[in-house]
Amino acid sequence: MSTFASAPKSDADHRLPTNVKPSHYDLTFKTDLEELEFKGYGVIHLDVHEETKEIVFNASVDLTVSDVSIHSESLKTEQVQSASEIKIEKDEERVTVLFPHALPKGSKAKLHLGWAAKLTGSMT
């Protein structure tokens, strides 16, 4: 008896894009043990290596992402942009955030975002 397994994914399938690189994380978590949930807010400092309108990051499928914005003094239109679209890829456990204006190559930015989820026994 033989079985067929799907082709293994390449390293590129697991790696995040390199258009931006995080340099520092300021994260706040709040747990509610009565409701069995947690919430949080973060500011992620980014170095922009390629001009981009999108930022991709890993996130658990159970996580709800909200209040996403980006701040950069390099933006010519305005310094703070709210996300124009948030795409959740549950199979890949990734979130792609799109912004209306591109972040310039070589600039620095701060990604602001909130999240919430139910507390579970899972560590994934």
Exposed (0-12), middle (13-18) or buried (19+): which is 6, by Cβ within 10 Å? exposed
- pLDDT score for 41: 97
- pLDDT score for 47: 96
Parallel, antiparallel, or unpaired: how do β-strands 80-82 and 64-71 relate?
antiparallel
Amino acid, single-letter form, for residue 102: A
Q: How far is CA 84 from CA 19, 96, 123, in A?
A: 18, 11, 31
- pLDDT score for 103: 92
CB of 101 within 8 A of CB of 52?
Answer: no
- pLDDT score for 120: 84
Amino acid, single-letter form, for residue 92: E
Bridge partners of residue 46, in order along the sequence: 22, 109
- pLDDT score for 116: 94
Residues of the chain falling short of pLDDT 70: 1-14, 76-78, 122-124
Tell me the CB-side half-sphere exposure of residue 10, using CA atoms within 13 A. Answer: 1
Tell me the per-residue pLDDT of 73-83, one tens digit each, with 9 for 90 and over: 887 656 788 89
- pLDDT score for 14: 65
- pLDDT score for 13: 60
